[in-house]
């Protein structure tokens, strides 16, 4: 089967002027991931926010189960960007979904990843049912 036939995807690129909503700007509830480890493990080779989002999506290998994926790119200010990458419906016995939040900042016309956080949603009877930085059991 084609990789894309198993993935329901929505890529939403939004340019926001001024401050974004408090929920989309919040780092609370995320487990902090070391930026260099994230870049290395995802083989990130680009720095433009939309290109990072595309690379995150294209890095996915076909996996067992039926999942959906959402990638959004927001620009809360002219020099900041937030990518939220969400995958739900994982074929895992404890984790049903993973959400990554990647924050980028422009410095002298070059974008750099400055912060990464991760949240999990657990399978029934395996922990919390809402998004949280806590691991599932």
Q: What is the mean pLDDT of residues 5-30?
A: 46
List the domains of the chain with CATH numbers: 14-20+27-122 (3.10.450)
Q: How far is CA 27 from CA 8, 22, 70, 95, 116, in A?
A: 26, 10, 18, 21, 9
Tell me, what's the pLDDT at 8?
32
Instruction: Rank 13-17, 56-60, 62-66 by mean pLDDT and report only the highest.
Output: 56-60
């Amino acid at each position: 089967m084609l990789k894309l036939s198993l993935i329901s995807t929505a890529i939403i690129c939004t340019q926001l002027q001024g401050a974004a909503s408090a929920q989309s700007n919040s780092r609370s509830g995320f487990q902090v991931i070391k930026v260099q480890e994230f870049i290395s493990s995802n083989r990130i080779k680009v720095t433009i926010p939309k290109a990072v989002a595309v690379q995150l999506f294209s890095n996915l290998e076909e996996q067992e189960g039926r999942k959906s994926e959402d990638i959004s790119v927001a620009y809360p200010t002219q020099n900041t960007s937030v990518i939220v990458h969400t995958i739900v419906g994982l074929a895992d016995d404890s984790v049903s979904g993973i959400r990554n939040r990647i924050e980028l900042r422009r410095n002298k016309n070059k974008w750099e990843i400055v912060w990464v956080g991760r949240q999990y949603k657990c399978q029934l009877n395996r922990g919390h049912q809402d998004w949280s930085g806590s691991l599932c059991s």
